[in-house]
């Protein structure tokens, strides 16, 4: 765990979801292309004003350098920001899991997604709404943008708010937890994953989706594997 707690820059960058890394690369290249086009147009305008075709050719040649420069600047500014966001979410998720005394806090995967709490009946939903405190720092919607952190011992779901993060859902990786697809009578995205909580969230049900299908697929497979291991351990203990 001590080794896991200390991250190099390379490992921190690898913890960023692959789709988000590709988005950053695309964004940097797009800004470089836009900068190149603007530079060529500016050079062409100057050349037209002075009736010098050399300005246009010079602008075309220089645009290659300008595009690379702006792409590099965008990359250097966006990459550290993404790493810091992931490290902050990772740190807060581990802190919450430690506060609930959950074992094995090694982080397997962390990515952005959407979270929605669903209820088994209307009475539970009304009870939850009546006891819920209003958070004026976030928009009140049924689906929230969240950070989803999968550890070897828990699933932690956090939302961002002014002043820090808020714990939305935490579920130990135990035999009692269940990961499944939505039922026909559940009014959620058909591509969502339904996680029925246990331990501190026993009786609560979370619907999870993500705009990053690759990370979402890995999350489903890894959590399925961890839950299956927990069930096998429980079965082995019962036989003793």
What pLDDT is recorded for position 3?
43
In the chain, where the domains are located: 2-81, 103-239
Indicate whether 129 pLDDT > 70. Answer: no
What pLDDT is recorded for position 122?
55
Model pTM score: 0.80
Of 180, 183, 177, give the one whose Cα is nearest residue 201: 177
What average pLDDT does the segment 229-236 reach?
89
Which residue has better confidence, 236 or 141?
A: 236
Q: Does residue 110 sit in helix, strand or coil?
A: strand
Which residue has better confidence, 72 or 237?
A: 72
Which residue has better confidence, 139 or 120?
A: 120
- Distance of alpha carbon 99 from its chain centroid, rounded? 22
Indicate whether 132 pLDDT > 80. Answer: no
- Give the DSSP H/E element, type plus range, for residue 133: none
**Tokens (6 digits) for 230:** 């927990």
Indicate whether 214 pLDDT > 80. Answer: yes
Of 160, 145, 164, 170, give the one whose Cα is nearest residue 94: 170
What average pLDDT does the segment 109-115 reach?
95
Q: Residue-wise over 113-129: b if at least 16 C-beta within 10 A, else e? A: bbbbbbbeeeeeeeeee
- Distance of alpha carbon 230 from its chain centroid, rounded? 25
**Tokens (6 digits) for 197:** 């909580």
CA distances from 37 to 33, 34, 61, 105, 220 (A): 6, 5, 12, 48, 43
What average pLDDT does the segment 2-16 reach?
64
**Tokens (6 digits) for 137:** 């720092």
Q: Read off the pLDDT band of 127 (50, 70, 90).
A: low
Indicate whether 206 pLDDT > 70. Answer: yes
**Domain 103-239 CATH (choose: 2.30.29.30, 3.40.50.1860, 3.40.1010.10, 1.10.3720.10):** 2.30.29.30
């Amino acid at each position: 765990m001590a080794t896991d707690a200390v991250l190099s820059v390379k490992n921190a960058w690898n913890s960023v979801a692959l789709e988000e890394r590709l988005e950053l690369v695309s964004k940097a290249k797009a800004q470089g292309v836009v900068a190149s086009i603007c530079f060529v147009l500016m050079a062409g305008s100057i050349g037209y004003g002075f009736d010098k075709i050399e300005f246009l050719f010079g602008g075309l040649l220089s645009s290659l350098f300008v595009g690379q420069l702006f792409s590099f600047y965008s990359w250097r500014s966006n990459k550290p920001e993404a790493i810091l966001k992931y490290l902050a979410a990772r740190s807060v998720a581990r802190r919450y899991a430690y506060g609930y005394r959950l074992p094995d806090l090694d982080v397997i995967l962390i990515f952005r997604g959407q979270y929605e709490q669903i209820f088994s009946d209307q009475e539970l939903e009304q009870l939850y709404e009546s006891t819920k405190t209003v958070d004026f720092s976030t928009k009140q919607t049924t689906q929230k943008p969240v950070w989803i952190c999968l550890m070897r011992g828990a699933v932690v779901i956090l939302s961002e708010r002014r002043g820090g993060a808020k714990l939305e859902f935490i579920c130990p990786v135990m035999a009692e937890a269940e990961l499944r697809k939505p039922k026909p009578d559940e009014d959620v995205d058909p591509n969502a994953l339904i996680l029925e909580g246990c331990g501190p969230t026993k009786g609560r049900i979370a619907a999870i989706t993500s705009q990053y299908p690759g990370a979402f697929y890995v999350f489903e497979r890894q959590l399925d594997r961890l839950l299956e291991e927990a069930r096998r351990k429980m079965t082995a203990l019962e036989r003793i």
